[in-house]
Amino acid sequence: MIKIKTADELAAMRIVGRKTATILRKVAAKVAPGVTTQELDEYAAELARKEEGRCAFYGYHGFSGHICSSINEEVVHGVPGRRVIKDGDIVSIDFGLVYGGFVGDTATTVAVGEINPEWQRLLDVTQECLKASIEKAVEGNRLGDISNACQLVAESAGFSVVRDFVGHGIGREMHEDPQIPNYGPAGRGPVLKAGMTFALEPMINLGVHQTQTLNDGWTVVTKDRQPSAHFEHTVAVGKKQAEILTIPESDG
């Protein structure tokens, strides 16, 4: 069942969304050559403590990080550790925060120094995918419209959409109904209603869409080891347009 949030619940989700996005922005700003993913993780934990929030991923099914940090061919769920970030890397950071009884979930992929132009195009297109999906999160549309909008943008740019991981409903729980694939036909699935809240998160690959999970049991990589990008916002379906809930403080 897809929950419809009340005005009070949406207000609480705006607060946690803003905190989540502000922390992600600060952590993303620390990404630089020579920095380890562990350092980013510790910084996220410190910022969450200051906000009196709880990191949603920490301890989730035993996950040891406060963020997911996924570099280059890593798609999602990279475990922070001793890996040192290098010039030319792309670093995806995914962060979830619990505050006031609700969860915010947001991700970005950062280019480190000078990157391959094709990789930059992958980042740009993945952001366009997220934007296209968000534009469909409007009352009266179908869930499949969100999925299809993402797939069209990705595939017309020559990239592929990850099938093995999907977006999700979000609220008091990090993962609520429905599952939201980033691919599939338009005009199918549940009719959207204002007050539904979704974590939309295209994962787009330069090469094939298939993925593998490494022996650590967490880190998901592309099967062909070509790079992958990931951007995510928590959004509320609106009557005329979607509202992005994970907007950082400095954006007003």
Q: Is 247 helix (H, G, I), strand (E, B) or coil?
A: coil
Stretches 67-75, 80-88, 100-108, 128-136: which one binds Mg ion (CB under 5 A)? Answer: 100-108
User: Closest distance between Mg ion and the C-beta of residue 94, in Å?
Assistant: 7
Check binding of 73 to Mg ion (CB under 5 A).
no
Check binding of 44 to Mg ion (CB under 5 A).
no
- Non-local (6+) Cβ contacts of 229 within 8 A are 90, 92, 109, 122, 123, 125, 126, 203, 204
Check binding of 199 to Mg ion (CB under 5 A).
yes
* Cβ neighbours around 82 below 10 Å, total: 8
The DSSP 8-state label assigned to residue 53 in this structure reads: -
**Of 203 and 206, CB closest to Mg ion:** 203
- Is omega for the bond preceding 178 within 30 degrees of 0, making it cis? yes
User: Closest distance between Mg ion and the C-beta of residue 84, in Å?
Assistant: 26
**Of 39 and 53, CB closest to Mg ion:** 53
Stretches 11-19, 82-90, 103-111, 218-226: which one binds Mg ion (CB under 5 A)? Answer: 103-111
Tokens for 64, please give them: 């040891």
**Of 76 and 122, CB closest to Mg ion:** 76
User: Closest distance between Mg ion and the C-beta of residue 212, in Å?
Assistant: 20
**Of 167 and 227, CB closest to Mg ion:** 167
Contact with Mg ion (CB under 5 A) among 9, 39, 74, 105: 105
Stretches 39-47, 51-59, 105-113, 117-125: which one binds Mg ion (CB under 5 A)? Answer: 105-113
Q: Is 92 helix (H, G, I), strand (E, B) or coil?
A: strand
Helix/strand/coil (H, E, C) string of 184-218?
CCCCCCCECCCCCEEEECCEEECCCCCEEECCCCC
Check binding of 162 to Mg ion (CB under 5 A).
no
Check binding of 56 to Mg ion (CB under 5 A).
no
Q: What residues are paired with 167 via a beta bridge? A: 180
Stretches 17-25, 44-52, 97-105, 139-147: which one binds Mg ion (CB under 5 A)? Answer: 97-105
Residue for token pair 């609480």 = 12
Check binding of 68 to Mg ion (CB under 5 A).
no
How many chain residues touch Mg ion (CB under 5 A)? 3
**Of 14 and 233, CB closest to Mg ion:** 233
User: Closest distance between Mg ion and the C-beta of residue 19, in Å?
Assistant: 16
Determine contact, residues 102/81, Cβ cutoff 8 Å.
Answer: no
**Of 132 and 199, CB closest to Mg ion:** 199
| Alpha helix segments (H runs only) across the chain | 7-29, 37-50, 117-135, 143-156
Cα 15 to Cα 18: distance, rounded to the nearest angstrom: 5
Residues binding Mg ion (CB under 5 A): 105, 199, 201
